[in-house]
Amino acid sequence: MRKLTGLAVIATLVASQLANAQEKTNNGLNPLSLRPIHESNVMYKTTLWRRIDLKEKQNQPLFAKTSEITKHLIEGVRAGVLEAYANDSLNTKLTLDQFNERMAMELEGGGLSDDEKAAGFSSAGDDGWGSGGDDGGKKEAPAGGAAPATTAAISSGIEYLPSQLSILELKEDFVFDKQRSRQYNDILTLTIMIPADQNSAGLEKPLASFKYKELERYFRSCNKCIWYNASNVAQHKNLADAFELRLFHGKIIKRSNALDKYLDDIYKSPKQGMLKAQQLEYELMEFEHNLWEY
């Protein structure tokens, strides 16, 4: 009986410690938020994903030559200052080797492009002068009888340049704080996307995701992380201030939904997705204003 009583006391103490630890971790604040709002003060919240095309005129200050935001992010990872994740769910951290592997370009090997074929070139040993080259245009088949693959994607030692990584994907919470009676755009993550025209798959895919909370500290600690002010080069802004002031344009590509679908997928075409994104932008803009109309 004494043993059981002792075990019961220990179990009670452990349960109490676990409960206290749970209270400390589950404090009602979003750990990814730069300026967290307690959940009891959140009257309304939705999550938005925005696509930032750094080649757009409004976004070019983020992409100034030799001072690209993508360059600073890559340097931060390789210096060990920033942690990179596989995607914006932030469940899987990337090691430096994995990050460098993703940075390697995939090249098409062993075949001719469509333009070269249209110009009359052949992959069957033709040297381009009407003859078959040294082997008369005849190649010996492999022992298995199968022709060699000509369009396989191969990983090369060539890396993406920061200037080639011109797409960012931003994830943020649109939050209405009832205590302060105002709406906030709470940036959570920033993802570097590999553009469709820079990889063999022909689709945009994530290179690495970052916690914006960490990025904000990194930007403020680095004098070179600037938003380029072409109107007055004496007044460049820090990248953290540029995001705080919303000095960028990001088209809404997804809003939180049960099926986790992008607007293009929901509305069946990129054109309709773009129109719905603009409509959603206006709806969110009017949301705060309309709350206080009488």
- Residue closest to 289 by CA, chosen among 216, 181, 215, 191: 181
Average pLDDT estimate for 207-215: 97
pTM, rounded to two decimals: 0.76
Give, in degrees to the nearest 5, the angle at Cα 105 between 103 and 109.
Answer: 160
Of 249, 243, 245, 258, nearest to 278 by C-alpha is 249
pLDDT tens, position by position, 111-161: 555 655 666 665 454 444 454 444 444 444 444 444 444 344 555 568 999
Position 46 pLDDT exceeds 80: yes
Mean pLDDT of 209-225: 96
Which of the pair, 181 or 168, is modelled with greater confidence?
168
52 phi, psi to nearest 5 deg: -105, 110
Q: What's the CA angle centered on 123, arms 120 and 125, to 5 degrees? A: 100
Q: H or E element: which one contains 169? A: strand 167-177
Give, as one character, the DSSP assignment of residue 131.
S
Q: What is the pLDDT of residue 130?
A: 52
Comparing CA positions, the residue from 54, 66, 51 lying closest to residue 225 is 66
pLDDT of amino acid 116: 57
Give ∠ CA 74-80-83 in degrees, rounded to 5: 70
Single-letter amino acid, residue 229: N
Helix (H) or strand (E) holding 47: strand 42-53
100's tokens: 């460098």
Q: DSSP state, 155?
A: E
Task: Annotate 128-142 with b (16+ C-beta within 10 A) or e (fewer).
Answer: eeeeeeeeeeeeeee
Q: What's the first-to-final CA gap in the chain, in angstroms? A: 69
What are 232-262's pLDDT values in tens digits? 999 999 999 999 999 999 999 999 999 999 9
Alpha-carbon span 204 to 194, nearest angstrom: 5
